[in-house]
């Protein structure tokens, strides 16, 4: 119905009613007005009371197992009061174990109930959103007796044992509630009546006080069994009475089963009078009662389905009754009253229609101005409708406002997520920097300890001081062990950060196995174990990472020897499938074995089978975790089969050729290349170093190729498009556009994507030292034999040779000096790069070799590499880098920037590069 039609109908009806039913209207006005008012107020008040209960439920639920601090009740949580554990990653980590570690559950299971308050009291007294429960109670499941209970001391009544005479759950079947909780492991919410005896002083007669609480009962679960009941409650009388006071009224909670008992034990006459009115409402089954004699009005307000508990709202309407009586006695002339009534009706209609319309227009204007404080007006009254023009307009405005607020929330959340991501990245970078610095700081003193202990051990052996040999040997072995722990921690960090890089090479698997078996003989002898090999299949040559494979095998044999005493440890190899694409290495021991639970958590970092294993056998629990993750990075797996008391078998499965997939891709691409004869074929060399270009050009011309070259990546791509060479050699380290970017552009170009590209570079982590201009690279701690071998590559004889040691750590310098003196070398020392440069400038005879550390004060090894280039007489001195530093990408970039020629050590490989191009094109021709 349109508004104008509605307005006309209302005016006409109002006039007819006013004219013809005046007398009846006055007679029925009071009752109708009162009933209408009371019905509307009852609905409004009941809705408000229900919302009060819902607010109390929210507060209670926050402290329950489904609330904000749910981890407090988790049986697996060993630190229930650590609320920071309410994180997703934490609960994901808990899924791997069902062991009960929560001290609350353990105390209940062990009957130590007095200890529970240590956890419950701080938990329930710590506010959530500014609120705490009024009480908590935990009951035994056997007889529902209290294990622990505490209530707010400000409560007039307390539900805890010793302070209450009776606790009554307001429900028809109390036993069924608890049995259902046990069966379904779910919670129940309802009301509780509490009966207390209250005595203000010993001279006054005691009163019986009844209190009412909103409660939630939930199960406390451990190992999927209910071990106790928890009850959390909030006293509701004060909230209800506070609301009633805002209405200038009084409220009384009434529970029908206890009403008679309250009447008998209450000494307060006003309260007793209200209880009698409440009983009268029950008896006549009415919701309202007006006592005109006393001027009191009572409204019964129900909470919901349970009508045994309700609120009676008492209001003083004596003034209202007097006014009504006065109006009845002073009735104005009938016509005047009709006119006034008609005017009031018309005015009400106008206000009901045009005022909401004006508010709707104002709201629309505010929304267009992005006013976030806007509240869309609610249309009230008898004439309000959601289907007329104004109702539909207000509904559309509400929907638009809700959508706008949701979009604002999404924008806010997006900003917060972006900020959290940046913080996580910063934290990860800080962690990587810390580990790199830690590596250097720990390895430097370890270098000195291991080296000096080794020297002293050799000295006392030569001097036949055997009493000193064993302690020095212990120091040496302990330092080596500490170094291996540091390396394990760094490996774990690299794996987690995804920074592990594999160095694939071709080697004989048997060589690695023989090397590991030889190195592990002493480990086996320590526990009187027999170390055997069982070569089922001869694997032969494989393409894999030699260092990582050796690390995996050594970790597994070391683990087997540690947990086996006077038994056997057997290493066997075999193919894993009929195609012989993968192979297996199995390490079998006859040690202590493991249970299924121990196997389940075996490969977690810093974890062993259990705490007793750690105490007896020691270790950090990193070896197996690293081995498993390295196996997966290498394209394989690590599995274990174990039986407690019998032994364990660890099986490593890896591909024979880690480059198979890449080679297949290369072969497919090669098939698409246009086949060219070798003679008169053109090779494009892209390299910024002219010396490298000259060497490669000479080698390739001897093979019959025509050569063109480019000094940077951009020119190289242009020349490739112009000349369409048969093959391209590409350097990686170039200014402006590096080799990786050039390669990407070549492969994106449809004309150039099938041209073979040969990388000619020395970039890898080990060769970073070479990029400095170094002649060799040794990681700390320095091994005497390794250093001897490196020096042997530069000197046919050590006699009359001079070595300059640049190292800031005095102990490391002492150790290196002792090694050099033992090798019959003359030694000079410098504490840092600056003093090393000063020494080289001032000396008449330059040293034959420089041993250089990277991390030093005043001038570090990086800067020294720059400065020594400026000294003409020192340009050709071989440099051996000795460092404990793990180079990060920033250090790597800094090193590359200061390189004179990337072929400082790689120029000897020009033959290999030309041979590779020759072989490739020969294959194309055939």
Under the banding of pLDDT at 50, 70 and 90, the label for residue 522 is confident
Cα gap 104→106, rounded to integer Å: 5
Under the banding of pLDDT at 50, 70 and 90, the label for residue 107 is very high
Neighbours of 801 (CB within 10 A): 18
pLDDT recorded at residue 94: 46
Under the banding of pLDDT at 50, 70 and 90, the label for residue 283 is confident
Cα gap 833→342, rounded to integer Å: 105
Residue 92 has pLDDT above 50, yes or no: no
pLDDT recorded at residue 507: 85
Under the banding of pLDDT at 50, 70 and 90, the label for residue 307 is confident
The tens digit of pLDDT for each residue in 683-697 reads: 898 888 776 677 667
Pairing of strands 637-643, 647-655: antiparallel
Q: What is the mean pLDDT of the chain?
A: 75
246 phi and psi angles, rounded to 5 deg: -65, -20
pLDDT recorded at residue 685: 87
pLDDT recorded at residue 153: 84
The tens digit of pLDDT for each residue in 567-582 reads: 999 999 988 888 888 9
Cα gap 637→620, rounded to integer Å: 22
Least confident of 110-114, 156-160, 338-342, 788-792: 788-792
Cα gap 885→430, rounded to integer Å: 16
Report, as an integer, the average pLDDT of 872-884.
75
pLDDT recorded at residue 200: 47
Query: 653 in helix, strand or coil?
Result: strand
SS (H, E, C) 580-643: CCEEEEEEEECCCCCCHHHHHCCCCCCCCCCHHHHHHHCCCCCHHHHHHHHHHHCCCEEEEEEE
Dihedral angle sign, alpha carbons of residues 672, 675, 678, 681:
negative
Pairing of strands 568-575, 582-589: antiparallel
Residue 46 has pLDDT above 90, yes or no: no
Burial degree of 330 (CB within 10 A; 0-12, 13-18, 19+): exposed
Q: List the domain boundaries for the chain.
A: 500-655, 682-794, 802-922
Query: 307 in helix, strand or coil?
Result: coil
403-434 burial code (b ≥16 CB/10 A, e <16) = eeeeeeeeeeeeeeeeeeeeeeeeeeeeebee
Under the banding of pLDDT at 50, 70 and 90, the label for residue 16 is low
Residue 552 has pLDDT above 70, yes or no: yes
pLDDT recorded at residue 61: 93
Q: How far is CA 115 from the centre of its chain?
A: 33
pLDDT recorded at residue 754: 79
Least confident of 372-376, 536-540, 744-748, 797-801: 797-801
Under the banding of pLDDT at 50, 70 and 90, the label for residue 925 is very low
Intrachain domains 500-655 and 682-794 with the same fold: no
pLDDT recorded at residue 351: 65
| Better pLDDT: 209 or 47 | 47
| Better pLDDT: 598 or 819 | 598
Look at residues 53, 89, 55, 91 and name the one whose alpha carbon lies nearest to residue 71.
91
The tens digit of pLDDT for each residue in 420-430 reads: 888 887 777 67
Under the banding of pLDDT at 50, 70 and 90, the label for residue 408 is confident
Name the most confidently modeled range: 131-140, 286-295, 510-519: 131-140
| Better pLDDT: 430 or 200 | 430
Homologous superfamily (CATH) of 682-794 is: Response regulator (3.40.50.2300)
Residue 626 has pLDDT above 60, yes or no: yes
Look at residues 257, 240, 243, 245 and name the one whose alpha carbon lies nearest to residue 303.
240
Residue 765 has pLDDT above 60, yes or no: no
The tens digit of pLDDT for each residue in 801-833 reads: 788 899 888 877 887 787 778 777 888 999 888
Under the banding of pLDDT at 50, 70 and 90, the label for residue 881 is confident
The tens digit of pLDDT for each residue in 488-508 reads: 676 766 676 666 777 788 888
Query: 840 in helix, strand or coil?
Result: helix
Specify whether domain 802-922 bears CATH 3.60.10.10: no
Look at residues 867, 876, 814, 811 and name the one whose alpha carbon lies nearest to residue 841.
867
Residue 584 has pLDDT above 80, yes or no: yes
Residue 433 has pLDDT above 60, yes or no: yes
Q: Which two tokens stand for residue 697?
A: 């050009």
Report, as an integer, the average pLDDT of 622-642.
86
Question: Residue 526 to residues 520, 534, 561, 624, 649: CA-CA distances in angstroms?
Answer: 10, 22, 8, 21, 21
Under the banding of pLDDT at 50, 70 and 90, the label for residue 304 is low
β strands within 81-206, DSSP E = 135-139, 146-151, 166-169, 188-198
Dihedral angle sign, alpha carbons of residues 174, 180, 182, 187:
negative
Q: How far is CA 679 from the centre of its chain?
A: 61
Least confident of 30-34, 315-319, 640-644, 894-898: 894-898
Cα gap 287→43, rounded to integer Å: 11
SS (H, E, C) 746-794: HHHCCCCCCCCEEECCCCCCCCHHHHCCCCEEEECCCCHHHHHHHHHCC
Under the banding of pLDDT at 50, 70 and 90, the label for residue 905 is very low
pLDDT recorded at residue 699: 63
Question: Residue 242 to residues 236, 247, 285: CA-CA distances in angstroms?
Answer: 10, 9, 27
Kindly report the length of the chain.
Answer: 926
CA angle, 208 then 209 then 213, to 5°: 150
pLDDT recorded at residue 878: 78
Cα gap 917→925, rounded to integer Å: 12
Cα gap 109→117, rounded to integer Å: 15
Report, as an integer, the average pLDDT of 160-167.
63
By percentage, how much of the chain surpasses pLDDT 70?
A: 72
Least confident of 226-240, 445-459, 544-558: 445-459
Cα gap 871→838, rounded to integer Å: 11
851 phi and psi angles, rounded to 5 deg: -95, 120
Cα gap 363→674, rounded to integer Å: 73
pLDDT recorded at residue 885: 57
Report, as an integer, the average pLDDT of 719-744.
82
Give 98-104's long-range contacts (Cβ < 8 A, gap of 24+). Answer: 98/223, 98/224, 100/75, 100/76, 100/222, 100/223, 101/75, 101/76, 101/77, 102/73, 102/74, 102/75, 102/76, 102/77, 102/78, 102/222, 103/78, 104/72, 104/73, 104/80, 104/220
Residue 392 has pLDDT above 70, yes or no: yes
pLDDT recorded at residue 291: 80
Report, as an integer, the average pLDDT of 755-759.
77
| Better pLDDT: 193 or 918 | 193
CATH topology of domain 500-655: Heat Shock Protein 90 (3.30.565)
The tens digit of pLDDT for each residue in 846-867 reads: 888 888 887 787 787 778 877 8
Residue 76 has pLDDT above 60, yes or no: yes
Report, as an integer, the average pLDDT of 521-546.
85
| Better pLDDT: 648 or 888 | 648
| Better pLDDT: 605 or 247 | 247
Neighbours of 792 (CB within 10 A): 12
pLDDT recorded at residue 760: 62
Burial degree of 584 (CB within 10 A; 0-12, 13-18, 19+): buried
Residue 349 has pLDDT above 90, yes or no: no
Residue 672 has pLDDT above 50, yes or no: no
Report, as an integer, the average pLDDT of 747-764.
71
Residue 90 has pLDDT above 50, yes or no: no
Under the banding of pLDDT at 50, 70 and 90, the label for residue 232 is very high
pLDDT recorded at residue 164: 53
Report, as an integer, the average pLDDT of 97-119.
88
Residue 77 has pLDDT above 80, yes or no: yes
Look at residues 746, 14, 825 and name the one whose alpha carbon lies nearest to residue 347.
14
The tens digit of pLDDT for each residue in 771-786 reads: 333 444 445 454 555 5
């Amino acid at each position: 119905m349109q508004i104008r039609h509605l307005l006309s109908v209302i005016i006409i009806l109002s006039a007819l009613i006013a004219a013809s039913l005046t007398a009846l209207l006055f007679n029925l006005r009071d009752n109708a007005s009162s009933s209408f008012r009371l019905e509307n107020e009852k609905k409004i008040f009941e809705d408000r009371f229900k919302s009060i209960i819902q607010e109390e439920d929210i507060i209670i639920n926050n402290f329950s197992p489904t609330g904000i601090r749910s981890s407090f009740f988790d049986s697996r949580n060993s630190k229930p009061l650590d609320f920071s554990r309410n994180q997703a990653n934490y609960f994901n980590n808990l899924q791997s174990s069902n062991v009960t570690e929560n001290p609350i559950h353990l105390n209940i299971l062990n009957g130590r109930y007095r200890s529970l308050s240590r956890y419950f009291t701080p938990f329930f007294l710590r506010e959530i959103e500014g609120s705490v429960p009024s009480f908590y109670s935990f009951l035994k499941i056997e007889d529902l007796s209290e294990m622990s209970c505490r209530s707010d001391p400000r409560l007039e009544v307390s539900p805890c044992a010793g302070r209450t005479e009776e606790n009554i759950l307001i429900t028809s079947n109390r036993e069924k509630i608890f049995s259902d909780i046990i069966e379904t492991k779910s919670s129940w919410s309802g009301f509780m009546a509490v009966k207390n005896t209250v005595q203000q002083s010993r001279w006054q007669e005691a009163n019986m006080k009844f209190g009412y609480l909103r409660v939630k009962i939930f199960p406390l679960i451990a190992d999927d069994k209910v071990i106790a009941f928890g009850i959390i409650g909030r006293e509701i009388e004060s909230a209800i009475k506070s609301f009633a006071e805002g209405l200038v009224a009084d409220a009384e909670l009434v529970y029908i089963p206890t009403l008679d008992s309250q009447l008998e034990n209450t000494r307060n006459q006003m309260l007793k009078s209200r209880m009698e009115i409440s009983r009268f409402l029950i008896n006549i089954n009415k919701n309202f009662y007006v006592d005109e004699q006393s001027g009191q009005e009572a409204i019964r307000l129900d909470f919901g389905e349970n009508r045994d508990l309700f609120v009676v709202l008492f209001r003083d309407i004596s003034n209202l009754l007097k006014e009504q009586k006065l109006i009845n006695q002073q009735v104005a002339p009938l016509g005047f009253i009709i006119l006034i009534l008609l005017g009031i009706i018309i005015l009400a209609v106008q206000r009901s229609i045009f005022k909401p319309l004006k508010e709707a227009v104002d709201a629309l204007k505010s929304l267009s101005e992005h006013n976030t404080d806007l509240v869309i007006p609610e249309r009230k009254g008898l004439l309000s409708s959601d289907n007329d023009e104004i109702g539909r307009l207000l509904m559309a405005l509400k929907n638009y406002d809700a959508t706008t607020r949701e979009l604002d929330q999404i924008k806010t959340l997006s900003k917060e997520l972006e900020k959290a991501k940046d913080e996580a990245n910063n934290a990860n970078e800080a962690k990587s920097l810390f580990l790199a610095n830690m590596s250097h700081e720990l390895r430097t003193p370890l270098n000195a300890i291991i080296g000096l202990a080794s020297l002293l051990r050799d000295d006392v052996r030569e001097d036949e001081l055997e009493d000193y040999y064993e302690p020095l040997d212990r120091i040496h072995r302990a330092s080596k062990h500490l170094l291996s722990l540091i390396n394990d921690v760094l490996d774990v960090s690299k794996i987690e950060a995804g920074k592990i890089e594999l160095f694939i090479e071709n080697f004989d698997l048997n060589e690695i196995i023989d090397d590991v078996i030889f190195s592990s003989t002493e480990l086996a002898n320590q526990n009187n174990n027999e170390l055997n090999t069982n070569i089922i299949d001869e694997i032969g040559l494989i393409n894999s990472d030699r260092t990582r494979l050796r690390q995996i095998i050594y970790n597994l044999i070391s683990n087997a020897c540690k947990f086996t005493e006077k038994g056997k440890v057997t290493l066997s190899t075999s193919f894993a499938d009929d195609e012989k694409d993968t192979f297996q290495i199995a390490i079998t021991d006859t040690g202590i074995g493991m249970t299924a639970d121990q196997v389940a958590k075996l490969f977690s970092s810093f974890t062993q089978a259990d705490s007793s294993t750690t105490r007896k056998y020691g270790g950090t629990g990193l070896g197996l975790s690293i081995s498993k993750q390295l196996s997966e990075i290498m394209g394989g797996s690590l599995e274990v089969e174990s039986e407690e008391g019998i032994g364990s078998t660890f099986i490593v499965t890896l591909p024979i050729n880690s480059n198979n997939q890449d080679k297949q891709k290369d072969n497919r691409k090669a098939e698409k290349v246009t086949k060219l004869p070798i003679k008169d074929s053109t090779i494009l060399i892209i390299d910024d170093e002219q010396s490298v270009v000259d060497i490669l050009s000479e080698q390739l011309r001897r093979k019959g190729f025509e050569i063109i070259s480019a000094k940077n990546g951009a020119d190289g791509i242009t020349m490739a498009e112009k000349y369409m060479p048969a093959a391209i050699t590409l350097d990686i380290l170039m200014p402006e556009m590096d080799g990786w970017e050039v390669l990407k552009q070549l492969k994106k170009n449809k004309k150039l994507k099938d041209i073979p590209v040969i990388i000619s570079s020395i970039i890898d982590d080990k060769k970073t030292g070479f990029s400095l201009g170094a002649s060799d690279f040794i990681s700390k701690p320095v091994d005497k034999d390794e250093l001897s071998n490196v020096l042997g590559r530069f000197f046919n004889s050590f006699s009359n040779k001079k070595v300059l040691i640049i190292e800031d750590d005095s102990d490391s310098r002492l150790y290196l000096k002792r090694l050099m003196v033992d090798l019959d070398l003359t030694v000079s020392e410098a504490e840092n790069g600056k003093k090393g440069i000063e020494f080289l400038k001032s000396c008449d005879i330059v040293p034959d070799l420089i041993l250089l550390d990277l991390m030093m004060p005043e001038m570090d090894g990086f800067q020294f590499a720059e400065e020594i280039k400026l000294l003409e007489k020192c340009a050709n001195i071989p440099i051996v880098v000795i460092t404990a530093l793990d180079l990060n990408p920033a250090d790597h970039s800094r090193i590359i920037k200061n390189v004179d020629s990337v072929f400082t050590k790689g120029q000897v490989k020009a033959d290999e590069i030309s041979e590779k191009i020759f072989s490739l094109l020969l294959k194309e021709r055939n």
